[in-house]
Structure 1
Amino acid sequence: MSKMEYLKDMPIAVLGGGAVGKTCAADAKLAGREVRLYDMMPFAETTLANIDKTGILLDGVQRNLYCFERSGRAFFDIVTSDIEKAVKGAGLIVVAAPAMAHEPFFRALIPYLEDGQVVHIFTDNFATLLLRKLMREMGCTKKVIIGGWSSAPYGTRIENVNGFAFPHVGVKYRAITLRGASLPMSDIDDFLESSKYLPCIDAVTQGNGPEAGNTVLDIGFANINPVIHVPATILGVSTMENWGKIFGGYDKNSYSMYCHGLCPSICEVQYQFYEEEKAIAKAIGVGTPSYSYESFFSRRSVLTQEYMGLNKDGKDNVVFPLDQPSTEGNLGPNNINHRYLTEDVPVGCKIYHDLGVQYGVATPVIDSMIILAGAMHKKSFFETSKYSLAYLGIDNMSKEDLLEYLNNGNYRK
């Protein structure tokens, strides 16, 4: 019997009422599990409105190599803005919230953690480091397993009509592999084993399987959002802002960074951004995923591997050529006030920069993205971002002390 099999029949708490949270919750409920869906006030007034009556309809293309699909309308066991009610007695806790919401979510969660619970964070975005730091500060000594993933299990969107969000999520694709890690890494076997009892990643566990990263910093580098989103949004901003205006005949909401913004020069910048990430990881002594140069030059960039995989020669099974039109990409962003910049720059890019400074690696491409995004927003993300190594609790640490903490959980500064 699996050591983690006790999770099989325990409730699943999903924290976050956005597209990923609602999709994870609906997916798990349609798989036959007891599911509690939570969001924090005041957001819950909107995100959870009428969900107890309507449920959530999950459908969509759900593109993936092995054609895994699960659709239907899910009605949850509990829909609540009371986090104690959501997590009490739960075995698995899914955190599906934007990075900027992690701290308030964690401060609400920590007092109600129970021994034996397993926390899965989609997408990690250095949240495992933040959660462990807050647990230390708040005096929480519960024996819980905490881990994060390189991406969400899906490309998913909430149906939205003229600003009204319907109780309907459309899944564009399902990941068949995800990179995950626990903090500390001494919990990695149990963390990955627990994922077998989390239906929202069934397409992964029944696909190519989860892949263990080399510490949670590896998972920060494995998050492909900064490397794809930031250069493509900043360098493609003229196409985005002119869409539906100078480029007439288009609905402004039909713009897709993937379908309309990417070009060979932007893809080259993305690749060099990735090379800087690799250099930081190497200097610290942690891992990064491996992507070929050619994989960046596609209208889905390196994202395609997540749901369509690689062939026996290590090449992408599917390539969307840059010189041909495609409708495969997700829509958006429509303006610069989008998470592709407002989250991926002050979180991902900023932490990469700070790690580079602390461990002696120059990051000129990443730094240029932070500078340009700041100019567009009339601020300095170097100065205004709350994300720093001190915020995560790993500032002024030698490489040896950092690795000891990441791998074995022994925290010393």
Structure 2
Amino acid sequence: MGKMDYLKNMPVAVLGAGAVGKTIAADATLAGQEVRLYDAMPFAEKSLANLEKTGIELDGIQRNLYNFKRSGLAKIDVITTDIAEAVKGAGHIVIAIPAFGHEPLFKSLIPVLEDGQVINIFTDNFGTLLLRKMMRETGCTTKVIVGGWSSAPYGTRIESVGGFMLPHVGVKYRAITLRGATLPMTDADDFIEASKYLSCMDAVTYGDGAVKGDTVLDIGFSNINPVIHVPATLLGVSTMENWGKIFGDFDKSGYSMYAHALCPSICEVQYQFYNEEIKLAEGIGVDLPRYSYESFFSRRSVLAQEYMGLDKDGKDNMILPLDQPTTEANTGPNSIHHRYCTEDVPVGCKVYHELGVQYGISTPIIDSMIVLAGAMLKKNYFEEGYSLEYLGIKDMDKETLLDYLNNGNYPALLLS
């Protein structure tokens, strides 16, 4: 066992009771870990309602290359709206909320942190940068590991009927590999080792394994949501908005961006978007995952590699041709007012744009997505959303930025 084995028998605090949070809580409980599930008011009125009585039922296809599955009815040990109750004595702390919820959650979390805890942000969405900035600004010196992951461990949905949220999560797929990193990177090896003691990562641990990224900016570029979601949602908007209206008597909830919007032209835009990410990463001096051109031209896009992997020749094990229908894909989005736009544009795309401006790297495809999303949602996403100043890295030259990301040395000039 490694030096992180002290986490093995410690409780897991799951902060956020949406689809990912509920699935992580149920999964870890069914694996035998003690779990505390927290959500903040007023969301908790619905998200935590009756869970003490009902538990959380976990099932679903759970597609993955190695057929790892875990299903059952999970009775969560602690269900609470008191973050201190959730976090006290926990080993792993799991952040499982959308990016725009990070700041208020971090404000509540920082005062109750304890030495030795490991913070996992699913999906990171630059949350590691924000949390370290807020800890610095509040004078918090608690010795914790702060790390983020490129994606959630699953594609999962809460079952809902007539607007009522049932205590049931259906897992479409389980990741067999995820990319993680810490701020600073001096904690990264311990973070990757610690993931072996977090049961929601079991399909990764027993699959192809967790991969150590090249700083948390790598994890930002490794998040495939912006590159897949944004072009497909914006450029496929007419199919989405006409679904169940012009396009036959379909159930609107059955629309799938993957199954019904993707086409060669949109996939070409996604590939060019990805190449701008490569330019940004290489220009700054960090790495990111590499995907072939062909991998983008499938109905699961590059997401398929996350749970079905590559063959011995480096090609996708699962290929869903664009000229054939599929039922493999997740459903949604059903509106332009969906996190595929309202989060992935003002967080992911906006940060990419600002990194390009700061380091002199043009991003015309990414910028065009920001323009289109802004027009459709009547927003100016060049002004709204995340900024490098908000994340604490504005006006850093590349050498200073990399020193901060790798070694944790924050420049004194920016502290004043």
Same structural fold, with TM-score higher than 0.5 when normalized by the shorter chain: yes
d(CA) in 1 for partners of 2:391, 2:279: 21
Give 1:301's aligned residue.
Answer: 301
Mapped to 2, the partners of 1:84 and 1:138 lie a distance apart of 18
* Cα distance in 1, alignment partners of residues 374 and 2 from structure 2: 49
Q: What is the CA deviation profile of residues 282-303 of structure 1, one whole-angstrom value per residue up to 9, with x for unaligned ones?
A: 0100111100000000000000
2:170 equivalent in structure 1: 170
**Aligned ranges for residues 358-369 of structure 1 at < 5 Å?**
358-369=358-369
Look up the match of 1:404: 403
Name the CA distance, whole Å, in 2 between partners of 1:401 and 1:384: 26
Q: Which amino acid letter does the alignment assign opposite residue 332 of structure 2?
A: G
SS at match of 1:165: strand
The one-letter amino acid paired with 2:267 is: C
* Deviation of the 1:26 alpha carbon: 0.4
- CA distance in structure 1 between the partners assigned to 2:410 and 2:55 by the alignment: 43
Task: Establish whether residue 232 from structure 1 lines up as the match of residue 232 from structure 2.
Answer: yes
**AA of the residue aligned to 2:358:** Q
Instruction: Report the more deviating stretch, 376-385 or 358-367.
Output: 376-385
2:165 is aligned with 1:161:
no
Instruction: Provide Cα deviations, 1:135-188, integer angstroms capped at 9, x if missing partner.
Output: 001111000001000000000000011111000000000000001101110111
**Cα shift readout 1:96-129 (whole Å, capped 9, x = no counterpart):** 0000100111111000000000000100000000
Matches within 5 A, 1:8-19: 8-19=8-19
2:263 — aligned with what?
A: 263
- Shift in Å, 1:384: 2.1
Residue 254 of structure 1 and its aligned partner are, at CA, apart by 0.7
Quote how far apart the aligned CAs of 1:253 are.
Answer: 1.1
Alignment of 1:188-227 (within 5 A): 188-227=188-227
Distance in 2 (CA, whole Å) between partners of 1:112 and 1:201 is 25
1:55-102 deviations in Å (ceiling 9; x for gaps): 100000000000000000111111000000000000100000000100
Structure 2 partner of 1:391: 390
Q: How does 1:1-400 map to 2 (within 5 A)?
A: 1-385=1-385, 387-400=386-399
Alpha-carbon distance in structure 2 between the residues aligned to 1:96 and 1:308: 23
Q: State the distance in 2 between where 1:288 and 1:278 align.
A: 7
Task: Report the AA paired with residue 159 of structure 2.
Answer: E
Unaligned stretches of 5+ in structure 2? none
Cα distance, 1:249 vs. partner?
Answer: 2.1
1:141 and 1:301 mapped to 2: Cα distance?
42
Deviations 1:377-411 (A, max 9, x none): 112111122x1000000000010110000000111
Please tell me the residue identity of whatever aligns with 1:358: Q
Give the 3-state SS of the residue equivalent to 1:291 in structure 2: coil
Q: String of CA shifts for 1:345-381, please: whole Å, max 9, x gaps.
A: 0000000000000011000000000000000011211
Question: SS at 1:64's partner residue?
Answer: coil
Distance in 1 separating the partners of 2:379 and 2:223? 25
Alignment-mate amino acid for residue 406 of structure 2? N
Q: In structure 2, how many angstroms separate the alpha carbons of the residues matched to 1:320 and 1:376?
A: 30
Amino acid at match of 2:262: L
Question: Aligned letter for 2:221?
Answer: F
Letter in 1 for 2:405: L
- Matched to 1:276, the amino acid is E
Secondary structure at the counterpart of residue 85 of structure 1: helix
Q: Which amino acid aligns with 1:292?
A: S
Identity %: 75
How many residue pairs match? The answer is: 412
CA RMSD of superposed structures (Å): 0.5
Q: Separation in 1 of the partners of 2:208 and 2:124?
A: 20
Helix, strand or coil at the partner of 1:132: helix
Counterpart amino acid of 1:16? G
Query: What secondary structure is seen at the aligned counterpart in 2 of 1:79?
Result: strand
Distance 1:182 1:313 in 2: 31
The SS at the match of 2:382 is helix
Query: Normalised by the size of structure 2, how large is the TM-score?
Result: 0.99
**1:209-240 deviations in Å (ceiling 9; x for gaps):** 00111000000000000000000000000000
Runs of 4+ in 1 over 4 A off after TM superposition: none
Structure 1: stretches of 5+ with no match in the other structure? none
Amino acid at match of 2:63: R
Secondary structure of 2:169 counterpart: strand
Distance in 2, Cα, partners of 1:265 & 1:343: 24
